[in-house]
Amino acid sequence: MITINGKSKSTTNRLFWGLVLIGAAVLLILNGIGVDLGYGVNVWRILGGVLCLACIVDRIVEKRFTDLVIPLAFLFLIFEPTIAHAIGRSDDDLTLIPTWTVIFAAVLLTFGLKTIFRGSDGKKHSRFGSSTIYLDGADLSGATITDNMGKVEAYITNKEAYSGEGTITICDNLGSVRLHIPANWNVVANCSDNMGRVSIPEQDDGVFDKTVTIDIRDNLGSIEVIFE
């Protein structure tokens, strides 16, 4: 049996995204009736800008400041013609920075910030690319797996020393994480999934030896829990 926590968080998320959609609808109506929202601002730019702003607010609320660079970069690209026109560029020269330069720089800045600010307490595991990591069952409190555009296989060692009160946080951005959990442990999952895929198989009802909490934050990635 899988227990999903975070009802209040889910309610907050629904309220937030509901307000985002309402705001987008208002902007679309204003644009449709001819209200000037700025040079080059059309329906698709409005929708893209609203989604980027929503992602930025979400990351600020979650205190994931190192994940702000990429949505900010896309927000700039969406409104680049408007910005260029505002600073006096002609209609024939509305590209301030080549698109791939902005994207590549944003990815490098994100990785650089994560490298500088990643945890150094032995409980946080941050990997770029394909890797296999091992979490010590004797110290699962605050364990963190962070994956960016890579593939991670995570295993728990020293299982007999696990006290039964641990929390594993998984932060996945455009990557793939597979966490291997003993089949006789009960999983309590807190999920925050943004356009990704989270797979946790159902467990049969019964008496479990221990319980582990998994706090999942997935952005356009794939997270899978494997019982073995």
Higher pLDDT, 77 or 6: 77
What average pLDDT is seen over the chain?
76
Reading the block at residue 117, the tokens are 């600010």
Dihedral of alpha carbons 88, 90, 95, 97, sign: negative
Q: Is the pLDDT of residue 132 over 50?
A: yes
Query: Which residues on neighbouring strands pair with residue 154, listed in sequence order?
Result: 133, 179
Domain ranges of the chain: 3-115, 121-227
Reading the block at residue 169, the tokens are 């946080």
- The pLDDT assigned to 117 comes to 64
Q: Is the pLDDT of residue 6 over 70?
A: no
Query: Which residues on neighbouring strands pair with residue 168, listed in sequence order?
Result: 143, 214
Q: Is the pLDDT of residue 219 over 60?
A: yes
Q: Is the pLDDT of residue 14 over 70?
A: no
Q: What is the pLDDT of residues 46-80, one digit of tens each?
A: 777 878 887 787 777 767 777 888 889 888 888 88
- The pLDDT assigned to 53 comes to 81
- The pLDDT assigned to 195 comes to 67
CA pair distance 68, 223, nearest whole angstrom: 22
Confidence of residue 121 (pLDDT cuts 50, 70, 90): very low
Q: Is the pLDDT of residue 10 over 60?
A: no
CA pair distance 182, 180, nearest whole angstrom: 7
CA pair distance 173, 151, nearest whole angstrom: 10
- The pLDDT assigned to 56 comes to 81
Q: What is the pLDDT of residues 158-213, one digit of tens each?
A: 888 888 778 888 888 778 889 998 888 888 888 776 667 888 888 777 677 788 88
DSSP per residue, 95-164: -SS-HHHHHHHHHHHHHHHHHHHS--SSSEEEEEEEEEEEEEGGG-EEEEEEEEEEEEEEEEE-GGG--S
- The pLDDT assigned to 34 comes to 65
**pTM exceeds cut of 0.85:** no
